[in-house]
Every structure is written in structure tokens, then in C-alpha cells.
Amino acid sequence: MINFVQESVLPKLGQTSLFAKFDETSEIRKAILGELGKIKDIQVKPENLKAILALMELNGNTLTKKALPYVVDETIVILDNPESTNIPISLPFLITTMGGETKAFIFADKIVNNINSSREYPKLMAVVEAAYVALQLYNDDEKFIQNRQLMLTLCEVYTKMTVFPIEQKLYMKGDNLVRGLIYAMAFFYKMIDGPDFNITAIVRRIIGDNQLLKENSDLIKQISDEVRSLQNNSIIDLIELIKKINPVRYENLDVTYLNHFTVTSGASLLFALENISYLFILLSSANHRTQLTNASLNATVTSAAKKVVKDLSIMFE
């Protein structure tokens, strides 16, 4: 039996609205089951990736080096099926439990054109690293959640990623941008802490000394209450709230947002909007400067990404 799980406390991949949307339109669950049902035919064994794994060992960071033994012992399983058209590029890896074992399955053909290419391997390395961290998150999500400094940094990255498409396509800036950032922060902490979240200190740490906040002392509480009232953690429900910042300019944002996100940020990040396991793709891509994610977005989060690598390396010692 296969369980589409990511975390036990944090939202599961199979419980997200985005996964449900993909399942409704393209039967993603059926596609995954089909792919995992032919593992023997499409798995790339570690012994057939020696040159690429050696490059990762040579050029990777501390997290990469911690991830590689998981590839060797096949806890991280690399699949390569160029003929597959049913797995979307927005799903570069999946954490799932099969036969009592929890593993990460990487869909390499959605990441690279040639799995043995020495030019393309940084993209595969970034996903291997992200899948490794996602496994650790699955194994002990409370350990992650209780590391509040790590959560603060992840919130900063998530917030920038979520608002980035609106900045790029609809030129959100100034007070509107500040409001958008606060909405994203509230949504992030609702995902990890539930409805009792409090972001007052978080907003001031990330945004700093802001005139809008000085003039509107109740703004953080107002936005928090709006996000708290959402029935689930659907990104489109959040976008509906953000639309109210400027109803005229953002009139169709609920319809266009996901397309804007894919174009400006990268399709491989789509599930990160509702599941933080996939946020590590952005962090790893930024650190390794890959084209999995948008170069401008990578530059925006590079400083935070380096900090996360340092914090996680210590946490996994």
C-alpha cells in the first residue's frame, strides 16, 4: 500500500488543494501509482551514477554530503523514465511509504534531460538535497517546528516566493507589498502552528521599521484574523484575501496567480505554496545556482538559503 504523505503535523501533500486540483484535472495520483509500479524498470541504481555522485560529493555542500548515503542505500530512489508524460514537472520528488518503508522518489526525467550529464547534475543535486531534508522533516516534523529560528528563516523565504509573482507581473510595491508580505507570513505560520499563530514579532523581524505599521497599529492583527478565518490552507483562498488590497488591479489574480507563479518562479516550486517540504527545492536551487527556479528569485533568497543550510547541518549532526 502507498500513502501519499509528507508530514504528520504539517499539511500532507495529498491533503493540499493543489494536489486535489492536479488529481482532478490530470489524475496525478494514478500517474504516481503507475510510475512507482514499474520501479524495477526505471530505477537508476547508484552504481550506474558513480560519476555524477562523485561530482556531487566533490562540489556539494554539507547537506549534499549528508544526502548521498541515502542515495547509495536507496532510501532516496532515483527514477528516470523519459517516456513518462503523466508526472507533472511540478513534482520533482515524492516522499511516500511503501511496504512499511518511507522513501523519497526522485523523478529525474522531470529535472534533467540526461541523467549522466556533467552539465545538468547541479539540478539533480539540488533535488537530492531537498528530498533528503524532506525525509528528515517527515521523520521528525516537531524537531523542525520547534526550531523557531529556522521557521523564521523559512517564513522569510516562503513569503518572498509567494509574493514574487505579484511583484513581477502586477508590480506590487510600497504599502501594497507590505500588506501582501504580511498575508503570506500569516499563511505560513497558520500552516505550521495552526489557528493560534502569532506573527507580530515575526513581521517586525522580517519587514523592520515600517511607516505603514506605525500608522496602522491593528494591521497585523486584522490580517492575521482574516487568514485565521480561512477554512483550509488553500493558496487560492489566500490570494482571494490579497486581491482585496487593490480589487481593481488584482481583480483576476485568483485566476492568473498560479500561471504567474509558474512563469516567474518555476513549476518545480508549485507544491511549496501549500507544503513546505517543497520549499527546500528553492533553497537548494538558490545555493547551487540552478535553473530549476528563477534566477532573480534565487538571488532574493540566497542569503536566507545559506543560513538554512548552516542551521540544518547543525540540526542533523
Ordered by start, the domain boundaries in the chain are 2-139, 143-315
pTM of the predicted structure, to 2 decimals: 0.93
Q: Are 283 and 301 in contact (CB under 8 A)?
A: yes
The backbone torsions φ and ψ at residue 93, rounded to the nearest 5 degrees and listed phi first, read -150, 165
Q: Are 116 and 60 in contact (CB under 8 A)?
A: no
pLDDT in tens for each of the 317 residues of the chain? 444 444 345 777 888 999 999 999 989 999 999 999 999 999 999 999 999 999 999 999 999 999 999 999 999 999 999 887 789 999 999 999 888 889 999 999 999 999 999 999 999 999 999 999 999 998 889 999 999 999 999 999 999 999 999 999 999 999 999 999 999 999 999 999 999 999 999 999 999 888 898 888 899 999 999 999 998 889 999 999 999 999 999 999 999 999 999 999 999 999 999 999 999 999 999 999 999 999 999 999 999 999 999 999 889 87
**What is the arrangement of strands in the sheet containing 76-79, beginning at the earlier edge strand?**
2-3, 93-98, 101-107, 76-79
The backbone torsions φ and ψ at residue 89, rounded to the nearest 5 degrees and listed phi first, read -70, -10
Q: Are 210 and 293 in contact (CB under 8 A)?
A: no
Q: Are 293 and 286 in contact (CB under 8 A)?
A: yes
